[in-house]
Amino acid sequence: MVESNSERQDLLRLKLVSRNQAGLFERLKQLNGLVLNSRYLIEELFSVGGQSVLYLARDIESNTIVVVKIPFLPYQKSAYFSNQEILNGRFRLQTEATILRELNDKLLPKFVELVQWKNPLLSSARGDEIINNEYFLVIEYLHGKNHLDIAQQIHKKGPKNIFHLEKLVWKTVVDICDFFIFLESKPKRYFYTDLTPSNLFLTKLEEIPVRLLDAGSIITSLPPIHISAFTKAYIPVRYYEAITRGESIFPTQKFVMYSMGRSFWEILIPTARWFRWKIRRM
């Protein structure tokens, strides 16, 4: 079941409270009503990740919904971040925009525009040079559900529906592997470093039903780039231990395949439990 706007807002509020960032929710909502480049009307806070904040916005020209993405910062505590951290976040968003342009019309959301605009969430003490040059990445809004939500719904319907889930997983595996081969064929040899069930998305579009969210998780394997965008629960133990020690970790095929295997295990684990129960009953 797709949550309503109010339900989504409640979940976001609780998420930020659990991250000890309760004051950030109301702060981020202050962008609602902002019009970017006389074209994109920000209507609703949509999601808050580790590196980015997403809003739903209306493209006034086409009267369609798009996603607007800005770098994540603890705006409710201005003293907790520096101007350099602001610039680092903007650089990551610029890099993501470049990648989306290059890989457009693949599994990723389509690039729309990178807008430079004023960020009213920043304190006036930062100065006009910082405040007036925020980057807002405008991308395609995908209608659908992530794989974890779909899996939970299928499992609730009972064992007779698990084969639909297996079919979806195999379709996703094939599409994702093809996409990874495409990424590695590029001159910079890109890697997608945060393959989690929440970043796997299924739409009703016939031409590209399986999609990947968060292009900010795509990095190049060329030095000196190292893994910075990842979810701890989906990386190999030795990588996690090295990151905890403060070491720089470079992406490898094994890292990516582990994340993919861990994600599909989480999606299918209730199915595996049912099969074990069925075998014991035989």
> So what's the pLDDT on residue 175?
93
The percentage of the chain sitting over the pLDDT mark of 70, rounded to a whole number, equals 89
> So what's the pLDDT on residue 228?
61
The percentage of the chain sitting over the pLDDT mark of 90, rounded to a whole number, equals 49
Instruction: List where CATH 1.10.510 sits in the chain.
Output: 144-281
DSSP state of 32: T
Give the pLDDT confidence of 123-161 residue by residue, as tens digits: 999 999 999 999 999 999 999 998 888 888 887 787 777
Query: Does residue 271 surpass a pLDDT of 60?
Result: no
Q: Cβ distance 213 to 199 under 8 Å?
A: yes
Fold that domain 5-140 belongs to in CATH:
Phosphorylase Kinase; domain 1 (3.30.200)
> So what's the pLDDT on residue 76?
94
Q: How big is the CA angle at 74 (ends 30 and 2), to the nearest 5 degrees?
A: 60
Give the pLDDT confidence of 164-197 residue by residue, as tens digits: 888 888 999 999 999 988 888 888 788 888 888 8
Q: Which stretch, 261-265, 269-273, 276-280, has highest mean pLDDT?
A: 261-265
Q: Cβ distance 165 to 271 under 8 Å?
A: yes
252 vs 36, more confident: 36
Q: Cβ distance 236 to 255 under 8 Å?
A: yes
How high does pLDDT run on average in the chain?
Answer: 86
Distance CA 18, CA 45 (A): 18
Q: Cβ distance 199 to 35 under 8 Å?
A: no
Instruction: List where CATH 3.30.200.20 sits in the chain.
Output: 5-140
Distance CA 38, CA 121 (A): 19
CATH class of 144-281: mainly alpha
Give the pLDDT confidence of 221-235 residue by residue, as tens digits: 665 555 566 788 888
Please choose, from the candidates 52, 30, 25, the residue with its C-alpha nearest in 3D space to the C-alpha of residue 42. 30
Sign of the CA dihedral 107, 258, 198, 24? negative
Q: Cβ distance 223 to 58 under 8 Å?
A: no
Query: Strand pairing of 134-140 and 111-117?
Result: antiparallel
The DSSP line for 84-126 is HHHHHHHHHHHHHHHHHHHTTTSSSPPEEEEEEE--TTS-GGG
> So what's the pLDDT on residue 239?
83
Query: Which pair of tokens denotes residue 13?
Result: 């509020």
Give the type of residue at 95: T
Give the DSSP H/E element, type plus range, for residue 43: strand 40-48
